[in-house]
């Protein structure tokens, strides 16, 4: 089936077949299941793949959530490089722009397997550039995806086992014998014992004090603020760690559009007051002063995103801003 018409799930599965097995298993071996929280539908197939090492069977039969997770593991690093090469065109590149970025990534040392992982992952996540990624996978001979093998399951908990007629008859006779035994057994009644219960002596021991409740320690990493920031903002505000939409001013005036001085974008609240917020801007383009914003997909952002390290003051009441989502402690600590 053509990649341009195949389903996103089919493209991701076929991409795993195209990528070298040793590369796939090597990336999987680096995953720490104890430190990474994954659902059973993802974790169990990945652990099974670690043991059986049959990538073809996994690609053809594993739940698509597990396939997507493994492909993301293979694509995340080369994806950052391709996004960086696309620059301002990263949100929605044309086919020519994406082709040029892929060629430059290849010259910089990115392998064919890594490019295939990036393109298939973009298709699976339905990035705006997904149609261009499909076209590259279809037209470039180096990226052509193989067909999925037919996998026949030999055993299944959903398939009834065949029972021999003789075994079935033995079971039937055994059940009848048990019924007859129960019907012939007399019902015996016993009177309750008249033995007096030993009187319990009154206790003079003071009751043990109830254990004090254990208060969970605050595990979210605390940031260091300047005196002026602490004077204007509260780092313990309830909305700290929330991603909202806010009108963020530009660092410099764009000569092409000098009249535009700000843009509405997602931001992460790191401190707040009743009337304003101290935030970190979230951008689609990487730079030396930005780090990967790992929960971008969980929060519903449309593309790979990067969070700035420079704090910005925004004159908007935090409870009036449109909320996108909230970071958990692990995601917060990964940024700081």
The string of pLDDT tens digits covering residues 171-206 is: 777 777 777 666 555 555 455 555 555 455 444 444
**Domain limits at 89?**
8-143
Please state which of the ranges 30-39, 120-129, 232-241 shows the lowest mean pLDDT: 30-39
- 154 part of a folded domain: no
In a domain, 1, yes or no: no
Based on the fold, state whether residues 17 and 130 are members of the same structural domain. yes
Say yes or no: 232 and 138 in one domain: no
Question: What's this model's pTM, rounded to 2 decimal places?
Answer: 0.49
Which of 80, 75, 127, 91 is closest to 265 using CA atoms?
A: 91
Q: Tell me, yes or no, whether 195 lies in a domain.
A: no
82 assigned to some structural domain: yes
pLDDT tens for 77-99 read 899 899 999 988 888 899 999 99
Q: Dump pLDDT digits (tens) for 262-304.
A: 888 999 999 999 999 999 999 988 887 888 888 998 998 888 8
The C-alpha atoms of residue 119 and residue 133 are separated, in whole angstroms, by: 5
Whether the predicted pLDDT of 158 surpasses 70: no
The total number of structural domains that make up the chain: 2
- For 244, counting Cβ atoms within 10 Å of its Cβ (0-12 exposed, 13-18 middle, 19+ buried), the class is buried
For the ranges 49-53, 54-58, 213-217, 245-249, the lowest mean pLDDT is seen at 213-217
pLDDT at 248: 87
Q: Is the pLDDT of residue 22 over 90?
A: yes
12 with 105, same domain? yes
Terminus-to-terminus CA distance in the chain, angstroms? Answer: 45
Among 61, 279, 23, 284, smallest CA distance to 155 is for 61
Q: Is residue 55 in a domain?
A: yes
Distance, CA of 4 to CA of 136 (rounded, Å): 10
pLDDT at 254 over 70: no
In a domain, 206, yes or no: no
Judgement on whether residues 12 and 136 belong to the same structural domain of the protein: yes
Are 121 and 22 contained in the same domain? yes
What residues contact 322, with CB distance under 8 A and at least 6 apart? Answer: 244, 245
Residues 133 and 254 in one domain: no
Check whether residue 125 and residue 248 sit in a common domain: no
> Is 246 a member of any domain?
yes
Residue where a domain stops, chosen among 97, 127, 143: 143
Backbone region of residue 326 per phi and psi (left: phi > 0; alpha: psi in -120 to 50; beta: other values): beta
Which of these three, 117, 143, 169, is where a domain ends? 143
Highest-scoring range by mean pLDDT, 153-157, 216-220, 300-304: 300-304
pLDDT digits (tens, 9 = 90+) for 124-148: 888 888 899 999 999 999 999 998 8
Q: Is residue 16 part of a domain?
A: yes
Q: Return the CATH number at 252.
A: 2.30.30.110
Q: Residue 133's closest CA among 105, 104, 103, 93?
A: 93
3-state secondary structure of 299: coil
Q: Which of 143, 178, 195 corresponds to the end of one domain?
A: 143
Is the pLDDT at 257 greater than 70? The verdict is no
């Amino acid at each position: 089936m053509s990649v341009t018409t195949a389903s996103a799930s089919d493209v991701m599965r076929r991409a795993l077949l195209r990528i070298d097995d040793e590369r796939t298993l090597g990336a999987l071996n680096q995953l720490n299941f104890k430190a990474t929280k994954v659902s059973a539908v993802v974790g169990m197939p990945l652990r099974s793949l670690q043991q059986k090492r049959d990538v073809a069977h996994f690609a053809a039969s594993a739940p698509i959530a597990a396939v997507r997770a493994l492909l993301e593991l293979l694509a995340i690093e080369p994806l950052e490089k391709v996004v960086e090469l696309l620059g301002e065109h990263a949100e929605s590149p044309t086919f020519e722009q994406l082709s040029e970025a892929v060629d430059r990534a290849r010259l910089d040392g990115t392998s064919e397997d890594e490019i295939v992982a990036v393109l298939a992952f973009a298709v699976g996540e339905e990035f705006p550039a997904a149609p261009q990624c499909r076209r590259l996978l279809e037209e470039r001979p180096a990226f052509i995806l193989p067909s999925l093998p037919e996998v026949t399951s030999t055993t299944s908990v959903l398939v009834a086992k065949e029972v021999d007629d003789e075994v079935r008859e033995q079971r039937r006779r055994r059940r009848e014998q048990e019924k007859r035994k129960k019907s012939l057994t007399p019902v015996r009644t016993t009177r309750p014992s008249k033995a007096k219960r030993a009187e319990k002596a009154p206790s003079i021991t003071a009751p043990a004090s109830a254990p004090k409740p254990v208060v969970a320690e605050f595990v979210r990493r605390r940031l260091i603020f300047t005196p002026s920031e602490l004077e204007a903002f509260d780092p313990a505000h309830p909305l700290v760690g929330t991603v909202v939409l806010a009108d963020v001013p530009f660092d410099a005036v764009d000569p092409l559009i000098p009249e535009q001085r700000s843009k509405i974008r997602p931001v992460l609240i790191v401190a707040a007051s009743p009337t304003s917020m101290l935030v970190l801007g979230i951008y689609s383009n990487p730079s030396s002063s930005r780090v990967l914003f790992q929960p971008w997909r969980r929060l519903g952002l449309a593309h790979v995103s990067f969070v700035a390290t420079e704090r910005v003051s925004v004159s908007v009441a935090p409870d009036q801003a449109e909320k996108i989502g909230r970071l958990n402690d692990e995601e917060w600590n990964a940024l700081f």
